[in-house]
Amino acid sequence: MIRGRGGALLAISLAVLAPAGCGRRKAGVSLPAAPRVSIGMTEEGMASWYGHPYHGRPTTSGEIYDMEKLTAAHRTLPLGARVRVENLSNGRTVEVRINDRGPFDKDRIIDLSHAAARRIAMIGPGTARVRLTVIGLPETPSPGFYAVQVGSFQSRGNAERLRSRMAREHGAAVIRSYESGRGLFYRVLVGHESDWNAANALVEKLRRENFTPLVIRIDELPANAGL
């Protein structure tokens, strides 16, 4: 059975999660409140893992995904960031490099490779509550911007209707395809914000419109990234 990578995607809006973090938890320090990521930041939540059918496909970074390498997907951490992941149920840890975007499920904060999930004994359960610690950042983060996901559909027509509405009301909206273990999904993204604070201002506006939005960093993707 394939775990993670959007296996629990639903057909309407998803919830917001902020950038991630690290190591021993420092009082008052967490990524959701911070516009910039720094070494030592922490985040707690649910992890999942992904293997086939993504093995051998391009990641957001342009690398070919190898499920037996210690890598992971995160929605907002810079590509190339290094993160320590601790399974809070057994104390096991693994260090991973962020090279992909996801998970696109409101209840999860990181998607681990098969190899990383095996290191912390979460292959069988499929998910585990973890603490992330940022232990390294790229010298030159990839350029990008923040967008807000407001819906995910298996019907392209439904996605297009929501995209059209968002474009009329907010001025910028696109559809990005995403293949999960349950098939092809179409995600509707709104906005083109240069910083975290602006993205969260858009989140608050969309919440007032009865959406439960999800902030995602959009990197400048190579042509073969499939989005």
| pLDDT tens digit sequence for 152-163 | 899 999 999 999
Residue 181's pLDDT is 66
Tokens coding 16: 């917001």
Tens digits of per-residue pLDDT, 82-105? 999 999 999 999 999 999 999 888
Question: pTM of this prediction?
Answer: 0.72
CATH fit for domain 31-136, picks 3.40.50.300, 1.10.357.10, 2.40.40.10, 2.30.40.10? 2.40.40.10
Query: Strands across the sheet with 173-180, in order?
Result: 173-180, 183-193, 144-153, 214-219
CATH topology of domain 144-219: Alpha-Beta Plaits (3.30.70)
Q: Which of 49, 15, 53, 32 is nearest to 213 (CA)?
A: 15
pLDDT at 12: 31
pLDDT at 109 over 50: yes
Domain limits of the chain?
31-136, 144-219
In 3D space, the residue among 64, 225, 49 whose CA is nearest the CA of residue 144 turns out to be: 225
Q: What percent of the chain has pLDDT over 90?
A: 52
Q: 33 versus 161: which is more confidently predicted?
A: 161
pLDDT higher than threshold 50 for residue 185: yes
Q: Which residue has the tokens 């210690």?
A: 70
Digit-coded pLDDT (tens) for 162-178:
999 999 998 889 998 87
With cut-offs at 50, 70 and 90, classify the pLDDT of residue 32: very low
10: confidence class by pLDDT, cuts 50, 70, 90:
very low
Output the average pLDDT for the chain: 81
Residue 126 has pLDDT above 70, yes or no: yes
Mean pLDDT of the region 7-33: 34
List the structure tokens of 207.
Answer: 């919440």
Other CB atoms closer than 10 Å to residue 68's CB: what's the count? Answer: 12
pLDDT(189) > 70: yes
Contacts 24+ apart (CB under 8 A), 94-97: 94/70, 94/119, 94/120, 95/70, 95/135, 96/70, 96/71, 96/72, 97/70, 97/71, 97/72
Quick check: 144 and 77 in contact, CB under 8 A? no
DSSP character for 225? G
Whether the pLDDT of residue 62 is over 80: the answer is yes
Consecutive H or E run containing 136: strand 127-136
